[in-house]
Amino acid sequence: MRIIKTYTYEEMSSKAADIIASQIKSKPDSVLGLATGSTPKCLYEKLINKYVEGELDFSQVRTVNLDEYKGLDKDNEQSYYYYMVNKFFNHINIQEGNYHLLNGMAEDSDEECKRYNEIIRSLGQIDLQLLGVGLNGHIGFNEPNDYFSKEIYLDALKEKTIKSNSRFFKDPEDVPRFAYTLAIKDIMQAKKILLIANGKNKAEIMREAICGKITPQVPVSILQLHQDVTIVADCEALSLI
C-alpha cells in the first residue's frame, strides 16, 4: 500500500489525476473503474483539463462505474448516470459505447446485475479502479456486512449512508434505500486500486482502513490484501494515522 499525503483537496485531486493520466498514457485502451460522490469531483475536472490541453486522449478508454441508486433515472440529477455524463463524459472524447453504467430503472434487478456482470467479464480485468470511501467504510455501495460480496448485487443502504448522502437531496426521504454495486470481489480483481479521501470526517475510517482489522464490517479494510493500492488523501483524512 502506497500512501500519498497532500495538504489540500485540490492537491489530492491533482495527484490522483496524474496517476490516472499515467495509466491512460501507458495503456490507451485502459479499462477504468470509476466512482462518483463528492470526493472525485475535482479529480474529474483535472482530467477534463488535461484532455482540453491535449495531454490526454480518451478515445480508446473504456470505463465501468461502481454503483447506481435503484429507482433514479438517467435524468435525475442525483443519479450516478447523470453525474458521470454531465460532469465528465460530455467533456472528453470518450466514445459513447465505451462507458458503462448500471440502470437504476431496470425492472428486473437480477437481470440488471446479470447484464452488468456480463459487461464486466467482456471488458476483462479492470486496469485501475478509482474508489472513494463512505463514513462506515463502504466502497462502491458495499455496506458493512457479515461477508465480503462476490457478485454484483442490490444492497440495502445503512442509516449512516442514507444520512450522509441526504446532503445531496432536497428531502432526506428522497434518498433511495437500495443501490446496485460491483462486488468486493470485482473491486479486488482490479490490477490497481486508487483510493482517494479528504476531510476530517474521513479520518476515523481511514485509520480503520489502513491500520484496522480486516473485516467485512469495514469493507474498505479488505484493500490491505490487495497487492497494488495507492491512497491519495489530504492531511485531515490522514490525521489519525
Binding site for ligand F6R (CB under 6 A): 35-39, 66-67, 80, 132-134, 138-140
Does residue 84 contact residue 36 with C-beta atoms inside 8 Å? yes
- Give the three-class secondary structure for 10: helix
CB of 54 to ligand F6R, least distance (A): 29
CB of 234 to ligand F6R, least distance (A): 13
Of 23 and 79, nearer to ligand F6R (C-beta) is 79
Does residue 182 contact residue 112 with C-beta atoms inside 8 Å? no
Quick check: is 55 catalytic?
A: no
Would strands 31-34 and 99-100 be described as parallel, antiparallel, or unpaired?
unpaired
Of 23 and 137, nearer to ligand F6R (C-beta) is 137
Catalytic position from the list 65, 136, 142, 198: 136
Quick check: is 143 catalytic?
A: yes
Does residue 50 contact residue 16 with C-beta atoms inside 8 Å? no
Quick check: is 138 catalytic?
A: yes
Quick check: is 171 catalytic?
A: no
Catalytic position from the list 138, 186, 208, 236: 138
The Cα-based distances of 21 to 73, 87, 170, 231, 238 in angstroms read: 30, 17, 35, 16, 24
CB of 67 to ligand F6R, least distance (A): 5
Does residue 136 contact residue 145 with C-beta atoms inside 8 Å? no
CB of 35 to ligand F6R, least distance (A): 4
Does residue 99 contact residue 163 with C-beta atoms inside 8 Å? no
Of 60 and 76, nearer to ligand F6R (C-beta) is 76
Which helix (H) or strand (E) covers residue 68, if one does? Answer: strand 67-69
* Residue with the shortest CB distance to ligand F6R: 132
Catalytic position from the list 112, 143, 186, 234: 143
Of 39 and 79, nearer to ligand F6R (C-beta) is 39
| Residues noted as catalytic | 67, 136, 138, 143
